[in-house]
């Protein structure tokens, strides 16, 4: 009996439920992954993220080889071609079963449903495992049987379920055959053909081993002060695990296990571990929203009334935002961080998202798309949820009248200007006080003859314009 394991966003051998069950069934195990360049382009997958995924796939191939499992890499244009390709592979290798871990987004669900039908036609049994979240969609519903649309009651329900949930990470599966040399995947050739420029491997080395090392370092280091440091972009105070979580080089169960000293209990209230657990719950929440309200996967606002919002389109303003040339130092530094590293600090994601959607009154979907095209950790659910929260169009959204003042945000979270100067080196001669005050900033720029743009819009004017637009709804 032979089984086929289909890898997607689960590039690890430890705590991989589909792989665990495929091996546990006995018999030979084949593994396959697909490169889908046309689909990737359609879904705005960033070159950095794809490079990171391919490199992680290469590492995975080596780990699977140690278990006696060969990973095959095939290229098809898009999701529509996957069912036929999988069927062909299963026939050629005489596979009787197919295992994979569930994905929840619109295009991925369509693909997987088509795969199941194709396997049924061949009388191949398909096993779909819940692996990507701590609590799978459908287990937490409101009293009326619907999906939660507000985070606070979702979290309460989630925490209530936690002591009873089986969230212990699974070990590495047993060896199924004699270890073999890792296959020579055509990762480098694929990267060249697709024109992928690579990613900051010095910051985020690809693969499961690197993810485990990062988690251990975080849990044994700044986790204790995470609640105090997580909003400070100049400080290494967050886990930075999101790229590995997105490609599945590490699981959320492994993350949870690393911060829970007692499996049946939640972390202590007010602790860094509790604050980080909150981020894991948000991750679940936004994916539940995608499942419960699939329109958000298709560029639709959650709050239907906001469809009528009169967004501006100003190419010059949009380009200034994308390029980090808005004249607002914290916004510009954050956008340059994204471009240079493929990642952005979470506090700053809110700041720049609100700046685009509120200060510039530019459609949040343009920002969502730009983020996906550049983020190493681009996840549709989390990215969409964050953008809609900031734009006041989503579930549990910030009230429309709440509009971050970027100068106040930088004063609060980057008081000495260390982060700003790191990514806006032209502002090195500017005093810390001036970095957080538009009048002082303009004065010092003029006095020191620094080349830096004037603000693209006045904060007070922008706020009033945004409020007026939302009040028409």
Supply the residues annotated as catalytic.
Answer: 279, 282, 311, 346, 364, 387
Please, what's the b/e burial string for 442-451 (b: 16 or more CB within 10 A of its CB; e: otherwise)? eebbeeeeee
Alpha-carbon gap, residue 328 to 345, rounded angstroms: 17
CB 368 within 8 A of CB 383: yes
CA separation for the pair 420, 425 (Å, rounded): 8
Short-list 327, 402, 302, 317, CA closest to 366 = 317
Q: List the strands of the sheet with 2-6, edge to edge.
A: 71-75, 28-35, 2-6, 97-101, 125-129
Report the alpha-carbon distance of residue 422 to residue 173 in Å, rounded.
44
Give 56-83 as a 3 state SS string.
Answer: HHHHHHHHHHHCCCCEEEEECCCHHHHH
Contacts for 451 with CB less than 8 Å, ≥ 6 apart: 426
Closest alpha carbon to 29 in 166, 237, 147, 174: 174
Overall size of the chain counted in residues: 473
**Residue of 100, 79, 98, 139 lying closest to 8 (CA atoms):** 100
Q: Which of 296, 276, 278 is nearest to 149 (CA)?
A: 296
Return the H-helix or E-strand segment holding 211.
Answer: helix 208-219
Q: What CA–CA distance (Å, rounded) separates 1 from 97?
A: 9
């Amino acid at each position: 009996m032979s089984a086929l394991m289909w890898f997607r966003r689960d590039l690890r051998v430890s705590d991989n439920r589909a792989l665990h069950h495929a091996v546990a069934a006995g018999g030979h195990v084949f593994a396959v992954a697909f490169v889908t360049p046309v689909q990737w382009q359609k879904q705005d997958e960033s070159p950095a993220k794809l490079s990171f995924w391919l490199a992680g796939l290469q590492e995975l191939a080596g780990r699977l080889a140690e278990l006696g499992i060969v990973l095959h890499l095939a290229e098809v244009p898009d999701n529509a071609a996957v069912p036929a390709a999988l069927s062909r592979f299963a026939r050629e290798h005489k596979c009787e079963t197919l295992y994979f871990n569930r994905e929840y987004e619109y295009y991925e669900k369509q693909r997987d449903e088509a795969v199941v039908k194709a396997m049924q036609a061949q009388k191949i049994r398909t096993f779909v495992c819940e692996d990507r979240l701590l609590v799978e969609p459908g287990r937490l519903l409101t009293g009326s049987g619907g999906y939660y649309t507000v985070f606070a009651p979702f979290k309460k329900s989630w925490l209530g379920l936690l002591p009873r949930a089986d969230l212990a990470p699974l070990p590495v599966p047993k060896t199924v055959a004699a270890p073999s040399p890792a296959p020579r995947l055509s990762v480098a050739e694929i990267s060249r053909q697709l024109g992928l420029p690579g990613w900051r491997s010095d910051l985020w080395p690809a693969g499961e081993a690197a993810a485990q090392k990062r988690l251990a370092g975080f849990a044994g280091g700044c986790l204790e002060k995470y609640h105090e440091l997580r909003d400070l972009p100049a400080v290494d105070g967050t886990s930075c695990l999101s790229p590995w979580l997105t490609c599945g080089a590490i699981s959320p169960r492994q993350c949870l296990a690393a911060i829970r000293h007692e499996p049946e209990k939640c972390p202590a209230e007010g602790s860094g571990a509790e604050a980080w657990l909150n981020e894991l719950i948000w991750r679940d929440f936004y994916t539940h929203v995608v499942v419960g309200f699939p329109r958000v996967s298709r560029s639709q606002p959650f709050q239907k009334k906001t469809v009528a919002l009169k967004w501006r389109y100003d190419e010059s303003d949009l380009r200034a935002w994308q390029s980090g040339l808005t004249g607002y130092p914290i916004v510009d530094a954050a956008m340059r961080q994204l471009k240079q590293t493929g990642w952005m600090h979470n506090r700053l994601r809110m700041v720049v998202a609100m700046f685009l959607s509120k200060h510039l009154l530019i459609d949040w979907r343009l920002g969502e798309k730009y983020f996906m095209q550049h983020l190493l950790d681009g996840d549709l659910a989390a990215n969409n949820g964050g953008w809609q929260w900031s734009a006041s169009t989503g579930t549990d959204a910030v009230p429309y009248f709440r509009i971050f003042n970027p100068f106040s945000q930088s004063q609060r979270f980057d008081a000495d200007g260390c982060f700003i100067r790191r990514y806006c080196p032209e502002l090195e001669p500017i005093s810390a006080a001036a970095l957080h005050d538009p009048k002082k900033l303009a004065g010092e720029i003029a006095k020191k003859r620094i080349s830096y743009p004037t603000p693209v819009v006045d904060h007070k004017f922008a706020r009033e314009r945004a409020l007026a637009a939302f009040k028409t709804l």
